[in-house]
Every structure is written in C-alpha cells, then in structure tokens.
Amino acid sequence: MIAEVALNVPLRSTFDYLLPAAQETAVSPGMRVIVPFGRRQLTGIVVGLKERSALPPERLKVIRRIPRQETVFSDELFRFTRWLAEYYVCGWGEVLNAALPCGLGARYRVVYRLGPSAAEGGALERLSAAMRGFLAAHPSWSEAQWRRSAQTPEEREWLARESDPGGAVEAVYEFDGAPPLREEKWLRLRPGAGRPDERRRDKPTRKAQVLQLLRDDGEVSLTQLGALMPSPNRIVNALAAEGHVEVFTRPTEIQAEAPELPPAEPFHTLTPDQEPVVEAIRGALGEGVYRPFLLEGVTGSGKTEVYLHAVREALRLGRTALVLVPEIALTAEILRRFRSRFGRDVAVLHSAMDDRRRLAEWMRARRGEAKVVIGARSAVFAPLANLGLLIVDEEHDGSYKQDETPRYHARDAALVRARENGAVVVLGTATPSMESLHNVTVGKLERLALPNRVANRALPEVELIDLRTARRRKGSALFSMDLVDALGETLRQGQQAILFLNRRGFAQLIRCEGCGEAILCPNCSLSLVYHRAAERLRCHHCEYAAPVPPVCPACGAAELAEFGLGTERIEQEVAKLFPTARILRMDSDSLRRRGALERMIAGIRRRDYDVIIGTQILAKGHDFPHITLVAAVLADVALNLPDFRAAERTFQILTQMAGRAGRGDHPGTVMIQTYKPDHHALVYVRDHNTARFAEVELAIREATQTPPFTHQVMIWVSSTAPDRAERLARQLNRRARAERAEGVAVLGPAEAPIRKVNRRFRWMVLLRSTSVARMRRVLTRVLDDPEFKVNHPDRVVADVDPQSLL
C-alpha cells in the first residue's frame, strides 16, 4: 500500500510514500506521519491510500514514523482545504498547515488523562492501589510514564484498552518537549496555626493578611498573592518557616482564553428593524441548506445582537457556529458579548494566543465541548462538526485576505465552507465590499438591512473641511480653525474626541534641504518614517530602524528637515493647543505591549482620556459611549494610494470612523479635513449615502474592467538583482501571452509601485478575466514550465484575487 502525503512545501503536488511493513492498517487519511524529504524529515498529512504510484517502486521512500494520534482532519475539512489549494493555486499541504492551530511542523505528542466517565464501569478498581495513586498524582501522563510505573502486564494493557472510545481514559494532544503541565506553588494553613508575632498592631501586616486570606479561602496560589502584594515569596517563606502554613505544588490547568466568564446577560428583545432580519436567518437555518446573506446595517444598528440571536437558533437546532472578525483587536469585545450569552460553549482562536492556549481551544472545538468558535482569519478552519452558521463580521475588511501563502480570503473561504456544509452565512457590515454588492446584484447573496441605529440614535453630522481654503490657527498648520474650535468645545463639555490619521510616527520622511534627498530604507524603496518618541527612523515595510543621523547621509549638509505628518505629530500639536487635555495615542507603536489594547480600551471607557489619537485600529468595532467628536486629520492619505480600491477603502474607513461618534446619548459630530472635498468617497461619507457611493464606484469599476467585474491574478516576480527581476517578468509575461487563452488578458509586465521590499526588486504581471478557472489554467501551465520553477534567489509568487497591488 502507498500513502499519498501532503507536505508544507511550496509545491503543488502531493508525495507518495510506502507504508512501513506491519503497519499497513495503522494509517488512514487525515493522520499525521513523519517522512523523509530530501535531507529533512517533515511532518505531513496522509491524504489518500492507493495501490500503486506513478513513481517506480525503487524510488519510493518509506514513512519514517506514525505517531500515536487521533486523526486531525475531518473529511469535511479535507475537502475544504483541497478546494482552497486548487483555487489559490498552492500546495494542499500549505493549506493544511495553515488549518492546524500550531502548524504541521509543530511537534505534538499524545498524553492521556481520565475522561469524564472514568469513575463509571469499574475500570479504576481493576488497578492496584499504587496505580490509583499514580493517577491521583498525574493529571495527565505519557505512555512511557505509564509503562514505567505499571507493575503487571495487565496494568500495562489497561491503558491501551481504556483509551479506546468509551473507555475511562481519553487521549489528547500536548506539545512535545514542553512539560505536560506547569506546576504552581500553593499554600494552605497548617492545622493549629496560631497568629504570627505582630509587632505593629495599628495595621494588619502582610503576614496577617495572608493568614486571613487562607482562613477565608482555604487555599491560595502564589500567583494570586502576587496580584495582591509585592514579593509574596518572602512572606510565604517566612510564614512557612514559622510553621503557620504549608506550601505545596499543583499543576496549572491548561488555561483556555479568559477562563473567568463575564456576567451572564439576557438576550435583548429585538427591535422592529432586527425582527425580520433574525426571522429571515432563522427561516434559512430551519431549511438546513446553503443560504448566504449580506447584512447591511449602519454602525450601531445592532448587527452583533442579530448574530447572537442567529447563533442561539443554530445551537437550538443542534448545529455549531463560526464567527469571524477581521482583527485580533476586535475579538476581545465580541468575545465578551458572546461569552456573556453562551458561556463555555464559546472557544476563541487567533494568532496572538500562545500555542498552548490555542491548541487547548482548538481541541475544545474539535471534541464538541465548544459549539461556537470566534476568531480571526484562520478560524475559518475551526474543527467544528455539523457547522450550521458562519458569520463574517466587517466582511469588507481587507485583512481577511492572508498576504502570505496560502493567500486565501477568509470571507470567500467561509462561503465555500458553508456551501459544503449546507450552512447559512451572514456577511455583516456597514460598508459592503464592492464584491458583495455585486454578488447581491447577480443573485449570489440575499440582502438584509438594518437602516437605523438602535434606539433611534441619530447618525452623526459629517462636515468636510477643505484644507485648500480653510482658515488655520496661527502656528498650527495641521488643524483648521473649525476643528480647533470643535475640539475646544468638546473638552469644555467634558466629552471625548477621536483624531484619526492613518499613519504612525512623527514625520513621514526626513529630507535634506541642501541636496533634496530623502533618507530611504536600505532594504526597501521607501522613505524612513521619523519616530520622535523612540528617536529613530523606521521602515514601515521591513524591520529596519536606525538612529537619526546628525547630517545628510548623501551630501553631509546639516540641513535635515521633517516632512509630512504622523500620529506622534498630531499628539504634539494637540498637547500644545490644549495643555491640560489628557491624550492617548493608539497605534501599532503604542500597542506593542501585551494587553495594551485592553488597558487602553478600558481607559477610554473610564474617561481617563479626553483626546484619543490613532490609526485605523480606532475605527474598528469599539463601542465608546462618550465620544462626541471624531475628526480625520487628513483623509487624503489613503485616497492617494495607487490602488483601484483606494476610494472604497477610504469610504469604508471614514464611515467606520464616523460610526464611533455619538454612540451614547449625545449626538456626535464628524469632521473630515481634505484637499479633495469633491471626491465621491468623501462626499458620500458626508451624506451617509452608501448606496450612492456604491453606484458611482461600481460604474468606475465596470468602465475600468476591475473587480468585481473581473477577477485578477497577480504574479509577483522578485529578485535580489533588479535586472534579473525585470528579465524574468518579461519572460513570464511572454509565456503567459503565448497561451492565448480566450477571455484572459495578460497585463504588464510593470515594476511594482514599491519597487524594492526587503532587498528584493519587484515586478508584476497581472492576469484579468471573468473566469478564475481559465486564469488558473494559464497560471498552472506557466508555473509548471521548468523555466519558471525558479529557486532562490529569484521568486515567482501568484496571488489569486489580490487585495494588495503595491
């Protein structure tokens, strides 16, 4: 027998291996195996078994090892991942790798623990007292540990028998290498413990506090004490030495995300707007067939409440639900709302969790302990069985597209997965993507709408400020007089304001007034951004950072000057204008530290800040009740990008931004400063007219034959040598044209707008067609041509339905 194995390598084929003799029956599709590949050993997934291979038998290698395991992929995930590999023209193994919580390469081992029904059936009674002691001392254990401790052959056998389905023991994954569970120090009172000798009587000493805590709670962990007092170790050691307490260790449970549940909240009674929307989704769920909806609801219209009701209905029907949010920044808030309704039924999956916790949550979903999964992009692979409902919140968000292999779009993937499962999909947004609107027109999506805010709160008044003519305050070039006045008024009334600019740092670039040269990143063809707080120049595309040079590196003149603005500059300006204002800057620089986002959000809600300055992180989902002024300091930043989606993105981000205003009882004001006040992206933000914006934008897309009226495949060619990149791009372009595929246009080659990134020079060839299948045929034939099976240092990468054209 031969196993077909998918590996996480950038090749679009699977690989054949011989099964080790005597283990022919031990392998089935979905299992992990370790195989020799070149000089390495790789973990792969068995995707099929067959009698013969296209390769001659002498060239087939043998599977090295079959770890003891549960199968990791269901049939459904198998089909789904293969579909994605085909659509996005990448290796099946590459998709499978993305679908596992810690990747294919992560080394797991199987450990055992007592299952929920361990006490029934008398399995434990068949063990000696010694082995029962072993079980009491080990929350989980490996097969080797068991073998070492078991005294009789029957006891050694016991584990294998009881770990079969229905037995007393369950097998779970653990990381290889890491200790199965961490140990933590705990303490409890010694019987007959007296009072510690107290010298100062006016105030309880730390020791007395600890003893009181132990009297109240029985047992306390050192970690818990650490949250209450400094250096708890010293106090505990002293108490132990005096004979008052006993210290013992206890294994830390694998902590799932946020183990404490938020207080339970009841479901809101639906508003008259929400009622028919939920009714439509409920009806679709009842049918048990694929039904995709676009839920278009203005910001604050109660979309999340609709999701909650829909999920409740899916669970009632015995199915599971998947909720995707575009960014990790959003999971905390939506997770809280879901946990307050569904408690431990909810698992969370995203890339910022540590591996251990992510694996634990993934296992909860896989075992059916969690029936709702909330997560970012990669949660679209959540191992939920019997999936009945998929929700994609903020469906228009570009971060659903992964910008490295596999380059899938999680929204589109969710639609495919739903179709396979006969599930209902709800794509929710205030600002639908042009793709989704087009899909409504052609009948691929059904439109549902929430046109009003909950409780009839007004949408904020939006004002465009023309920077070409606006009066400025003397010495303040960034803010128009109107904005300064509005900001002052907001502060006087004790309300909060948001200032938005989609660029972090202090100055966009540093340029020499002498020779006119800007300081560029040595790795990328981009100017370095000046960060004043860190006193450094940083590249926003690679990791490069350097101190600010005293003189121009090009001509040596001491005439360096700052140009363009960033969030730090806004911060400085506001501090100058309003010295008493409490300012918070929120961008990826200030959010680097773990937990910073949660702390900042809590601070904003507590009104610790008056002015919040930030990048688009601010625009997303948060519900802050005291924001009455929102201003975009320079809307043109995103509008000027050479990308056909620039207008759409600008419209979306400004509408989202505006949606932060007036969510409480005070109405909000929004000000947008721009040099292009006539641009349709800005005019229809002002008018809250999403429909009209879409009409204009779609007309432009149709005239220019850009998505959603066509599909695109971008082929990126890059090399460390500029001439090689260009030559390869030209060759590839010629080769693609030679296919003469009907209905497929080959555009280019052209140098990329950012011509160098990370020391690689970049060129691009664009395919355009109404049919992805046709382009895929051209693409696979080109990529399979030995001429383009290029290796380091040149690279060819294809991106189907690209989101980034820079």
Stretch of 295-303, 485-493, 606-614, 738-746 lying at the interface with ligand ADP (CB under 6 A): 295-303
Q: Which is nearer to ligand ADP, 429 or 590 (CB)?
A: 429
Q: Collapsing DSSP states into helix, strand and coil, what is residue 24?
A: helix
Query: Under a CB-based contact definition with an 8 Å cutoff, are residues 743 and 701 in contact?
Result: no
Partner from ligand ADP, Zn ion, none contacting 50, C-beta within 5 to 8 A by type: none
| Size of site (CB under 6 A) for ligand ADP | 15
Question: What's the CA dihedral at 320, 325, 329, 335 to 10 degrees?
Answer: -30
Partner from Zn ion, ligand ADP, none contacting 539, C-beta within 5 to 8 A by type: Zn ion
Q: How far is the CB of 742 from ligand ADP (least distance, A)?
A: 44
Contacts of 32 (CB under 8 A, 6+ apart): 43, 44, 45, 46, 67, 69, 72, 104, 108
Q: Does residue 302 interact with ligand ADP by CB under 6 A?
A: yes
Q: How far is the CB of 304 from ligand ADP (least distance, A)?
A: 3
Query: Under a CB-based contact definition with an 8 Å cutoff, are residues 715 and 732 in contact?
Result: yes
Partner from Zn ion, ligand ADP, none contacting 541, C-beta within 5 to 8 A by type: Zn ion
- Tell me which residue has tokens 């291979």: 53
CA 650 and chain centroid, separation: 22
Q: Does residue 429 interact with ligand ADP by CB under 6 A?
A: no
Q: Does residue 303 interact with ligand ADP by CB under 6 A?
A: yes
- x/- contact string, 304-323, with ligand ADP (CB under 6 A)? xx------------------
| Interface residue with ligand ADP, options 193, 213, 238, 270 (CB under 6 A) | 270
Q: How far is the CB of 545 from Zn ion (least distance, A)?
A: 9
Q: Does residue 167 interact with ligand ADP by CB under 6 A?
A: no
Q: Which is nearer to ligand ADP, 182 or 268 (CB)?
A: 268
Q: Which is nearer to ligand ADP, 185 or 336 (CB)?
A: 336
Q: Does residue 432 interact with ligand ADP by CB under 6 A?
A: no
| Interface residue with ligand ADP, options 65, 148, 268, 734 (CB under 6 A) | 268
Query: Under a CB-based contact definition with an 8 Å cutoff, are residues 698 and 645 in contact?
Result: no
Q: Does residue 327 interact with ligand ADP by CB under 6 A?
A: no
Stretch of 269-277, 417-425, 591-599, 671-679 lying at the interface with ligand ADP (CB under 6 A): 269-277
Stretch of 62-70, 293-301, 364-372, 507-515 lying at the interface with ligand ADP (CB under 6 A): 293-301
Partner from ligand ADP, Zn ion, none contacting 542, C-beta within 5 to 8 A by type: Zn ion
Q: How far is the CB of 541 from ligand ADP (least distance, A)?
A: 32
Nearest to 714 by CA among 394, 299, 407, 474: 407
Count CB atoms within 10 A of the CB of residue 132: 12
Q: Which is nearer to ligand ADP, 241 or 455 (CB)?
A: 455
Q: Which is nearer to Zn ion, 487 or 528 (CB)?
A: 528
In a 10 Å sphere around its CB, with 0-12 CB exposed, 13-18 middle and 19+ buried, how is residue 109 labelled?
A: middle
In a 10 Å sphere around its CB, with 0-12 CB exposed, 13-18 middle and 19+ buried, how is residue 633 labelled?
A: buried
Nearest to 264 by CA among 330, 325, 364, 344: 344
Q: Does residue 301 interact with ligand ADP by CB under 6 A?
A: yes
Q: How far is the CB of 572 from Zn ion (least distance, A)?
A: 25
Q: How far is the CB of 27 from Zn ion (least distance, A)?
A: 46
Q: How far is the CB of 469 from Zn ion (least distance, A)?
A: 37
Q: Which is nearer to ligand ADP, 288 or 664 (CB)?
A: 664
Q: Does residue 460 interact with ligand ADP by CB under 6 A?
A: no
Distances in Å between the Cα of 3 and the Cα atoms of 8, 21, 347, 797 are: 16, 12, 34, 29
Q: Does residue 406 interact with ligand ADP by CB under 6 A?
A: no
Partner from Zn ion, ligand ADP, none contacting 299, C-beta within 5 to 8 A by type: ligand ADP
The tokens describing 335, both together, are 């997770």
Task: Give buried/exposed letters for 531-560 (b at 16+ CB in 10 A, else e).
Answer: bbeeeebbbbbeebeeeeeeebeeeeeeeb
Contacts of 579 (CB under 8 A, 6+ apart): none
For the beta sheet containing 219-221, the strands, ordered from the edge strand earlier in sequence to the opposite edge, are 219-221, 183-189, 245-251
| Interface residue with ligand ADP, options 232, 300, 406, 662 (CB under 6 A) | 300
Stretch of 128-136, 188-196, 302-310, 513-521 lying at the interface with ligand ADP (CB under 6 A): 302-310
Count CB atoms within 10 A of the CB of residue 252: 13
Partner from Zn ion, ligand ADP, none contacting 521, C-beta within 5 to 8 A by type: Zn ion
Contacts of 164 (CB under 8 A, 6+ apart): none
Partner from Zn ion, ligand ADP, none contacting 268, C-beta within 5 to 8 A by type: ligand ADP
The tokens describing 235, both together, are 């106090």
For the beta sheet containing 291-297, the strands, ordered from the edge strand earlier in sequence to the opposite edge, are 346-349, 372-375, 320-324, 387-393, 424-429, 291-297, 446-450
Which residues contact Zn ion by CB under 5 A?
521, 523-524, 539, 541-542, 544
Q: Collapsing DSSP states into helix, strand and coil, what is residue 637?
A: helix
User: Which phi and psi (to 5°) does residue 387 adopt?
Assistant: -65, 125
| Interface residue with ligand ADP, options 8, 14, 43, 274 (CB under 6 A) | 274
| Interface residue with ligand ADP, options 184, 463, 623, 794 (CB under 6 A) | 623
Contacts of 98 (CB under 8 A, 6+ apart): 378, 381, 402, 406, 408
| Interface residue with ligand ADP, options 297, 375, 566, 802 (CB under 6 A) | 297
The tokens describing 540, both together, are 């926003």
Amino acid at position 411, single letter: R
By CB under 6 A, name the binding residues for ligand ADP: 268-271, 274, 297, 299-305, 454, 623
